[in-house]
Amino acid sequence: MENVLAEHGGRGGEAVTLLAAATDRLFASIAKQRGMRLSVVIPCKNFQNFFATPDDLSEYLYLHTSATARTVLDHPTFNLEAFESAARFIVDICDLLVVVGSGNKAACHAAMGNIVKYASDREKLLVWLEPDAPVLSRRLSPIR
């Protein structure tokens, strides 16, 4: 992720994220360290109530507070529809979409697939980082 932001996300650029999963928050943290502006898309009202652990909530609140812009979508709860709506919003405003996922959870993988297709249909530049991809050779390995 650091390599992608180093190549595509210059100082003064903008990173837009949901802050939902740990990888979203890692992306936001790296972007901030690189001097990028942080904008967050909040998929539903009371999104802070949907975090599983106090540490996840604390990290979310820190990044949410440090964001330069926040957009709250009008969904009553955090579900697949709210997630996909927020992800489409991000695709619509981004120049480059960075997707991180292993496909280990079928529903999550299907949602990512929908977003990747949505981005592709809009001819967005896309980088898909696959943390669990096997290393095929020493000279050709996935970005980690």
Span of 16-20, 85-89, 117-121, 135-139 with lowest mean pLDDT: 135-139
Q: For the residues 25-37, what does the mean pLDDT come to?
A: 91
Q: With a cut of 60, say whether residue 140 has pLDDT above it.
A: no
Q: What is the pLDDT of residues 80-129, one digit of tens each?
A: 999 999 999 999 999 888 887 755 554 455 677 788 889 889 998 888 78
What pLDDT is stored for residue 73 in this prediction?
97
Residues 107, 96: Cα–Cα separation, whole Å: 24
Q: Angle at Cα 6 formed by Cα 5 and Cα 11, nearest 5°?
A: 85
- When pLDDT is cut at 50, 70 and 90, the band that residue 142 belongs to is very low
More confident: 71 or 136:
71
For the packed helices 22-33 and 54-66, what is the interaxial angle rounded to 10 degrees? 40
Q: What pLDDT score does 114 carry?
A: 85
Least confident of 61-65, 122-126, 133-137, 139-143: 139-143
- Show the domains of the chain with their CATH numbers: 2-95 (3.40.50.450)
E-strand spans in the chain?
14-17, 37-42, 69-72, 96-100, 125-129
Please tell me the predicted confidence (pLDDT) of residue 60: 94
* Angle in degrees, CA 30, 45, 121, rounded to 5: 60
In this predicted model, what pLDDT tens digit does every residue of 38-85 receive, in sequence order?
999 999 999 999 999 999 999 999 999 999 999 999 999 999 999 999
Nearest of 31, 101, 112 to residue 67 by alpha carbon: 31
